[in-house]
Amino acid sequence: MKLYGIPNCTTVKKARAWLAERQLDVVFHDFKKQGVDPDWLAGVAAQTGWQALLNTRGTTWRKLSDAEKAAAGDAAGALALMQAQSSVIKRPVLEVEGRYHLGFDEAQYQSLFKHL
């Protein structure tokens, strides 16, 4: 199990705390320190949809120029933007048994780990 994100992101902090409270062993991948592998990014986008993976609600997105936003209007452009600016990737990304789950929602996590 692996959690991808940025450590100072509030939502990532909530997910990490939730997982830690339940003593779930999770490896954390810091986009800022470890980067974003393009093949990994393409795989997540293929599973979740690039539109869901692109965070258009965050500060980084709001700071982009209209031209940069427009360039992210298709899969190739969105993936290029996410590769260049990892802060526009929806966080956290939780990988469990080869499946990717975007964002943190306590009910979703409880469902994923209902065996606890």
Q: Which residues are catalytic?
A: 9
Instruction: Identify each DSSP E strand in 1-116 by its residue range.
Output: 2-5, 27-30, 93-96, 99-102
Number of Cβ within a 10 Å radius of residue 95 = 20
Structure tokens at 19: 């997982």
